[in-house]
Amino acid sequence: MERGKNEGRRALGKGLEALIPGAGSAARPAIAPREYFQCPVDRIQPDPDQPRRKFDPAALNELVESIRGQGVIQPLIVRRLRDGYVLIAGERRWRAAQLAGLKEVPVVIKDATDKEAFEMALVENLQREDLNPIEEAEAYKRLIEEHGYTQVEVAERIGRDRSTVSNSLRLLGLPTEVRGMVLDGELTEGHARALLQAGSAQAITSLAKKVAARGLSVREAERAARTVSSGASGKGKAVPAKPEKSAQVRTLTERLQRALGAKVVIADRRGKGRLEIHYTSYEELDAILDKILR
């Protein structure tokens, strides 16, 4: 597993270098002086479609102080407009430069389509780990719905595992109010994933407020979500008698459980029925899917 994580990080870094030359390291002079110029900050405007929507005020203030002392070290990446430029990467630096009182900032002009610019902005934010989990999920969704990518293609483009993209997209199944709590930092990504197990939107929202108010851990949130889900599913229902399983069904159940490393239930009635594969976490689900789909 550790090897896979390291390979993902290397792929992401490589993808960023390919899209934005020299962006892999802010410490070294990534771009030769002739490749950029000083541009008035008022000729640059942010991209309304960029993936990132939240900017931490404390972190922004730290960057302002750094820029006052050192200036903007790494150029911003922009596209031409008829009367100026629009940002592809570097909106936080652009905001901080204005707050620091700078009139000009170094920029690099990049010829890019809307699609290419969105991908560059997404990769840069992922590289810097600047995106909130909900922002990241929404960006993946846009690549799929607006740009026609599959989940596998999204994973390849950004240098991450397919399971990472899949797990991220699941967060968009949260109610709007709960997504807002994740955006505001009241809940972590781990909490958000745990809450999905609670079932209905009303149950998830109610539990999310309790988790945030009580400061519950992710593990505690998982237990609470499972309790809520099991209570809702069993309410008002009679417990049916369990039919006796045939020897063939028992054998097949055991084989599947050994192969998948998970609890398996086969409900069979004269050659018709259903197959259930149980999991206790998204990590376990990903491991099961990898075994099925490989």
- Ranges assigned E (strand) in the chain: 37-40, 44-45, 76-81, 84-89, 104-109, 264-269, 272-277
Give me the catalytic one of 91, 135, 138, 222: 91
Q: How far apart are CA 264 and CA 249, in angstroms?
A: 11
8 Å CB contact between 143 and 111 = no
Amino acid at 225: A
* 91 in active site: yes
Cα-based distances in Å from 260 to 163, 166, 293: 17, 19, 11
Half-sphere exposure of 78 (CA within 13 A, CB side): 30
Residue 46 three-state SS: coil
* Total residues belonging to the chain: 294
Residue by residue, DSSP assigns 233-286 as: HHTT---PPPPPPPHHHHHHHHHHHHHHTS-EEEEEETTEEEEEE--SSHHHHH
Q: Can you spell out the DSSP letters for 29-42?
A: --S-GGG-EEEEGG
**Of residues 147, 192, 154, 152, the one with CA closest to residue 173:** 192
* Residues involved in catalysis: 91
